[in-house]
Amino acid sequence: MPTALPTRWPASVTPAQALGYLLARHIPIARLPQGLTLIREAAGWRPRAGLTSPDLGMHPFTVRTWLYAARDHARILGPPPGLTDLLAVLGDGKIRTAARARSLLQGADELADPRILADFAGWCGVDPGFEVLPQARRGSVPAQFVVPQAADLTRARKIVDLLIRRYGLTTADRALQRLADEGLRIDAGNDAQALRDLLGTGGYSAWLWPRRDVASPLTAAMARLRALGVPIPVEQLPVAIARSSLKPGNGRRRSRRSAPG
């Protein structure tokens, strides 16, 4: 005879323990522990491990019924203690890589994965306050970015792309300041490569540039200087670039008053 579903979480349970308890509660004892692997695969939280439902003599939809039952039960139970604290870490309105998010959630065990954290919060009826990209639920495609809204990452990349196009490169500090002025905050920690991954740029150290060649006033001026075939000392490059950028007829003309006669 089936027992009634609990309506509250066990005492002193952590959020990760709560998730494990929830999943195990809806898997027949005879299907443990393999069933825990299958249900996580069905949720899209891990890639296929080679174990399938038919291997255990079950119809593939059987695992889905476990998953749906666990999800519905979570809505009854509500958020376990500590879940809102984890969500607050990533719900601060900053754009960050999934790797950076995991580093901030150290100690959260399985819920250090931002996709699992967001899904579990949704099951419990809580808005996580952030989105995980890519949005497609595929166990073979790990989470890459954590953003307040999906459109924020696209907007940030467009702003930086326009900033770079003027001269062909810019500094990371200038890009971050420009984004902050537009209300977009970036958290890449001290990882310069993570920052470039977020913004979709190439670069080195404190500099950012496009991942592919683009035309800019600076690159056009340098091309004209190379065409001269004359070596130019480094200290004279700024003046040479400025002169090469002047359009014909834009030079200074002598005043008529200063002309003789």
Each residue's pLDDT tens digit, 186-229:
999 999 999 999 999 999 989 998 887 666 666 666 666 667 77
In 3D space, the residue among 57, 59, 37 whose CA is nearest the CA of residue 47 turns out to be: 37
Q: What is the pLDDT of residues 174-187, one digit of tens each?
A: 999 999 999 999 99
Transcribe 225-243 into DSSP letters: HHHHT----GGGHHHHHHH
pLDDT of 253 reads 46
DSSP H helices in the chain = 15-25, 34-42, 60-77, 83-90, 98-104, 114-123, 150-167, 172-181, 192-199, 217-228, 237-244
Could you give the CA distance from residue 78 to residue 89 in angstroms, rounded to a whole number? 19
pLDDT of 191 reads 94
Contact 215, 239 (CB under 8 A): no
What average pLDDT score do residues 2-26 get? 90
In 3D space, the residue among 98, 93, 115, 112 whose CA is nearest the CA of residue 194 turns out to be: 98
What is the pLDDT of the chain when averaged over all its residues? Answer: 85
Could you give the CA distance from residue 39 to residue 30 in angstroms, rounded to a whole number? 14
Could you give the CA distance from residue 175 to residue 112 in angstroms, rounded to a whole number? 29
Q: What is the pLDDT of residues 153-176, one digit of tens each?
A: 999 999 999 999 887 889 999 999
- In this prediction the pTM is 0.79
Which residues are CB-neighbours of 244 under 8 A, at least 6 positions away?
A: 221, 224, 225
> Is 257 buried (19+), middle (13-18) or exposed (0-12) by CB count in 10 A?
exposed
In 3D space, the residue among 61, 15, 18, 6 whose CA is nearest the CA of residue 39 turns out to be: 61
Helices 114-123 and 15-25 sit at what angle, rounded to 10 degrees? 60
pLDDT of 14 reads 96
Coil, strand, or helix at residue 134?
Answer: coil
What number of residues does the chain have? 261
Instruction: Tell me which of 4 and 77 has the higher pLDDT.
Output: 77
CB atoms within 10 A of CB 148: 18
Which residues are CB-neighbours of 68 under 8 A, at least 6 positions away?
A: none
Unique residue bearing structure tokens 């494990």: 20
pLDDT of 46 reads 78
